A = this chain, B = another copy of it.
Amino acid sequence: MSRSINERFKALATDNAPGQEIRQGAADIAGTMVGGQLDSRLVDFSHGDVDAFLPTPGAFEAFDAGVREGGKQAYTEYRGSREIRERVSQRLADFTGASIVGDEQLIITPGTQGALFLAVASTVSSGDKVAIIQPDYFANRKLVEFFDGEIVPVQLGYHEDDKRKGLDLGELEKAFEYGARVFVFSNPNNPTGYVYSLAEIDRIAHLAAKFDATIIVDQLYSRLRYSGVEYTHYRAKAGDTNIVTIMGPSKTESLSGYRLGVAFGCQKIITRMEKLQAIVSLRAAGYSQAVLNTWLDEPDGWIDERIRLHEAIRDNLVSLFQAAGLRTAIPKAGSYLFPELPELTVSPEVFVNLLRVQANVIVTPGSEFSPYTPSSVRLNFSQDHHAAIAAVERIVELVNRYRP
């Protein structure tokens, strides 16, 4: 195997990726431990707890109906069942505020991860410059690296008291001037819960048009928006020329176990994505596709209640972190918190391992999201409310134990 492929896979390290902590041992930190175990129920903040926030009503029944459809549902077009694409397109058009031609502009994928992979693979190749927000979802960076693209970082000030608050629009313009022709970002931002303002969206659209750039916007969390937050759908402002929007029911709707996502927008890119899906995984699992029949059509009040419950957890956890002196932005949407650890006697990386081994708490290290956030940790607070509070109390206790 060539040296380049070795390097490529070295860069793809997943040791700290959410859910992979189980593959790490505990032996190497035994000598570092201060104090004993904090006995308690495991809280895995690396992803949401679908036993606390259950899958949307009717999801399993829709899957069952898909199985009973038989071969027609097992072997759909690679881009997914036409009937389901058209149904979901109509609902997504209503949600995002701009029309979608279901048969041409939307593809069903294995999770939003599948959509993101196909979108980047369809627009980025060796040497291409790609603007990436720091911090943002780690796969954005890893995907560009995998296809040998060049990352052009753009900073996001996500704290209320940041001197340069919000997206650094000057830096984004410089990225395009430098040659970036693709810009990938999540809105709401993962891991901070930052929501881009109308002015920011307008400016991105203006720059994208000026530089003829492709925009890939991951709106996975755009349904889970808290009180008083204004949200702007990028495609509603910019049209679908060279735009791909990504969504899916894995998070807010707790349907991750079915692996479903969608990408919609620019017909040319969607067509490429289907060609690629044909050799990557053929299609999203046929029977699972039928679960999308329930999506964006939940019982009255369901989404409001889900938002209300998450907002209550958010408020409790933010208060706990802030009371302990950990700087923590208040997420405007989504279920991630991204608090900063204070100075400790151990590195943040070791502390994250200590949290797992001593406190039965799993979080994701901030270094995954930006080189400038090594002392932050990400928590997905879509958890049992009481368990989440107890786990944050354990984090605070362990922080205090390892203070200098």
Residues of A within 8 A of B (CB): 1-2, 4-5, 8-9, 12-14, 17, 19-20, 22-23, 47, 49-51, 60, 63-64, 66-67, 70-71, 73-78, 82, 109-111, 113-114, 117, 122-128, 139, 142-143, 146, 181, 214, 256-259, 272, 274-276, 278-288
Contact = CB atoms under 8 A, between A and B. Distances in A.
A104 to B, nearest CB: 10
Contacts of A71: 49-51
In the complex, the 4 A-B pairs of residues with the closest C-beta atoms, listed nearest first: A74-B257, A259-B285, A257-B286, A12-B275
Given A285-B110, A285-B288, A125 B8 contact: yes
A256 B122 contact: no
Given A125-B5, A146-B279, A110 B75 contact: no
Contacts of A20: 77-78, 278
A12 B259 contact: no
Contacts of A12: 272, 275-276, 278-279
A2 B214 CA distance: 12
B256 A74 contact: yes
Given A47-B75, A280-B280, A288-B288, 5 more contacts: A20-B278, A22-B82, A74-B257, A142-B278, A285-B288
For the complex formed by this chain, how many copies does it contain in all?
2
B275 A9 contact: yes
Contacts of A22: 77, 82
Nearest to A15: B275
B123 A1 contact: yes
A181 B74 CA distance: 36
26 contacts: A1-B123, A2-B125, A4-B125, A5-B124, A5-B128, A8-B125, A14-B78, A17-B278, A20-B78, A20-B278, A67-B257, A109-B281, A110-B110, A110-B285, A113-B279, A113-B280, A113-B281, A114-B280, A117-B280, A143-B279, A146-B279, A256-B286, A257-B286, A257-B287, A259-B281, A259-B283
Contact of A50 (B4, B64, B70, B125): B70
Contacts of A181: 1
A253 B92 CA distance: 36
A133 B114 CA distance: 30
Contacts of A14: 78, 274-275, 278
